[in-house]
Amino acid sequence: MSLLYLVRHGETSHNAQGRGLGRADLPLSPLGLRQAQLLAARFARVPIDAVLSSPLQRAFVIARTIAGHHALAVDVRPELTELDVGETEGLTYAEIRQRFPEFYRAWSGDDPADAAMPGGESLADLATRLAPLAAELLRGPDRVAVIVSHNFTLRVLVCQLLGIPVASFRNFRLDLASVTTVSIQHGRAAIQALNDLCHVEGPLNLVAPTRSVST
């Protein structure tokens, strides 16, 4: 059996301000850096075989910190990069509604999979990008892996692992610095824990919901 720990990165300034964040390579905020330390402490005594990460620094810093406790190198995977949010980068939801009303209507509909971000990707594009990795995780050798990535990327990856429509990403949330645990046995995935925040809520009461278009 494989065990996957899906880790969403910690806070950045855009997250704190409720602004869209996709490919912009922003650093973690001071709070985000503390979240990284708490995540690393959580995994310090957990046997881990591999650490995979998005190349964006807000994820990679956490992956490197976790991997350092286990003398592992980080396996940087470009496919784990966040959804390209195009021209909505840095905008609030109110600004997106005002500037891109047609996109916003499509994005707010029942199935937003094909609603491409203005000048960016759609969720369907992201799913295509992630498909080979999802297949690798489902069919690969048994191992324990930590995967550090982003809001939309991880939610779409969960949908793919479970074999459910991409539009189902709205049925669950993955907060900043959260850990979602997925087991895989005989090519089938099951959620063991979803959006676990005990490692940050307990020590510092850090978690406050943010509403950004991405992460």
Single-letter residue type at 88: T
Structure tokens at 74: 């980080």
Which of 9, 14, 150, 199 is labelled catalytic? 9
Beta strands in the chain (DSSP E): 2-8, 50-53, 74-76, 144-149, 179-185, 188-196
Residue of 11, 14, 79, 82 marked active site: 82
Q: What is the dihedral of CA 37, 42, 46, 50, to 10 degrees?
A: -50
Residue appearing with tokens 């990069």: 81
Which residues partner with 6 through β-bridges?
A: 147, 180
Catalytic site residue 82? yes
Burial of residue 136, with CB atoms counted within 10 A of its CB: 0-12 exposed, 13-18 middle, 19 or more buried: exposed
69 included as an active-site residue: no
DSSP class of 104: H
Provide the annotated active-site residues: 9, 82
